[in-house]
Amino acid sequence: MIKLFGGMTSPVLNRKRSDFIQHTLPSLRMAVASIALLEYLWLGPSNRQVLIMLLIAVFYATLCICVRTIKVFFGKYQYVMLLVDQLMIFLLCYFAGGMQSPFVYGFIIPVLIFTTSPDYKQMITVLVLSLAWLLLLGLLTIFELDLLVWLFTIIALSGIIVNVTVSNDLSILSRYAVRDGLTGLFTQRYLYEHLDILINDPKTNSRPFGLLMLDLDDFKSLNDELGHVEGDRILKEIADTLKRTVRDTDVVVRYGGDEFAIILPGVEYQLCQVIVDRLRTAIIDMDYFSNVSIGSALYPDEATEVDELVNLADTRMYQKKRQTKQGYSLF
């Protein structure tokens, strides 16, 4: 069944979209503004106001390319960028014939850009804003209801078609990008992307969290004895046990092979110790392994960089694996 408007994307794809907003989109804006200006100079009738607006559009597009602060700002506040783009199109249409202006189809461009997001609320917001601009344009120039309905229908259909086709592809790509094919857990790549957001995003970097690295001792021997099919089944069962044992807010990752990682938002030393004990008991009670090694690291008390945090938890896990066949290492 095709899921209209898609679903949640991964940090990987969200970052790619942010890069598109900051880098590719300014170049596209410059190309459109330059082509419109050249076409006007070549074919258009003399209209000083339209010429000024086109020059402003080219200047604005140039700033979006050359000034890093503007690119970062629009990457963070995308709706401001949307409103500025729509305002430029509105003013061009206002000075070039109102709803009859050929520039009116420029409203399709921001709609197409923003409807590539799987968030259907974002698509609806963009369409409502586009309708509001068209209504205002009609009220300030010559209002033609039939033309308004036609224009909005074209814009809305374009947005919906793009959202359905692109967002479904994004949903599929997102799942393959962040989910392990065997266990259904998040992948190592997702782990690093998520940690990067937790540590570097101003909205989250003030909140503590813990990272656990977990290794199933002697899994290789068990896998060789029972076979790879049975080994895969056990890994799936382990994954299900981990998900049931931790909280809904925790992020469980298959780090690779028989190693797992778990992000524990909002935890400090005492709670981290409780969760480690609970995980160790849950896995050993499955009767597949007599030993499990777990290492942990706490942000920001013990590490403030992604690689530093992962390496610390990983080192402690292997230290515990060498020192004893059962337990955990917080130090």
- Which positions are annotated as active-site residues? 258
Residues in the chain: 331
Using a 10 angstrom Cβ sphere, with 0-12 exposed, 13-18 middle and 19 or more buried, the burial of residue 11 is: buried
The torsion angle over the Cα atoms of residues 94, 36, 147 and 110, rounded to 10 degrees, is: -90
Instruction: Give the angle subtended at the CA of 6 by the CAs of 237 and 32, to the nearest 5°.
Output: 140
Nearest-angstrom CA–CA distance, 62 and 322: 59
Nearest-angstrom CA–CA distance, 77 and 320: 46
Nearest-angstrom CA–CA distance, 107 and 100: 13
Tokens of 203: 């909205």
